[in-house]
């Protein structure tokens, strides 16, 4: 199982990516804007739909939110990836929110 931080920004993801590259020598593995995916939402063309970075061997994903919900204090989530489908289904079933 791998836990991956997922950061949500309000239009500043590109600035954050540039900062992480400069400060942490982050490697950008992928970067897709809303404009590139022609998303059915209204977002400025430079808003990040999805990016994945590697910082010292660790994965980090980020995006710009098109919803006002990405505000200070609630702009981080954790993405869980599992190689074993059975364990993933078990973990999902154990979650009381499901």
Q: Under 8 Å CB-to-CB from 82, ≥6 apart: which residues?
A: 1, 2, 88, 91
User: Which among 38, 48, 40, 42 is positioned nearest to 12, based on CA atoms?
Assistant: 48
**For 2-94, which CATH class?**
alpha beta
pLDDT for residue 29: 98
pLDDT for residue 63: 92
Residue 60: CA count within 13 A, CB half-sphere: 19
Q: Is 66 helix (H, G, I), strand (E, B) or coil?
A: coil
pLDDT for residue 70: 56
pLDDT for residue 1: 76
User: Which among 50, 44, 5 is positioned nearest to 24, based on CA atoms?
Assistant: 5
pLDDT for residue 72: 56
pLDDT tens series, the chain, 98 aa: 788 889 988 888 999 999 999 988 899 999 999 888 876 777 787 899 999 999 989 999 999 988 766 555 556 666 777 888 998 888 888 877 76
């Amino acid at each position: 199982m791998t836990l991956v931080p997922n950061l949500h920004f309000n239009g500043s993801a590109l600035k954050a990516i540039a900062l992480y590259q400069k400060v942490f020598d982050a490697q950008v593995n992928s970067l897709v804007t809303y404009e590139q995916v022609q998303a059915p939402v209204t977002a400025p063309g430079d808003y990040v739909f999805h990016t994945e970075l590697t910082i010292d061997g660790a994965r980090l994903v980020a995006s710009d939110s098109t919803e006002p919900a990405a505000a200070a204090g609630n702009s981080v989530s954790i993405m869980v990836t599992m190689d074993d489908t059975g364990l993933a289904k078990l973990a999902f079933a154990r979650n009381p929110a499901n």
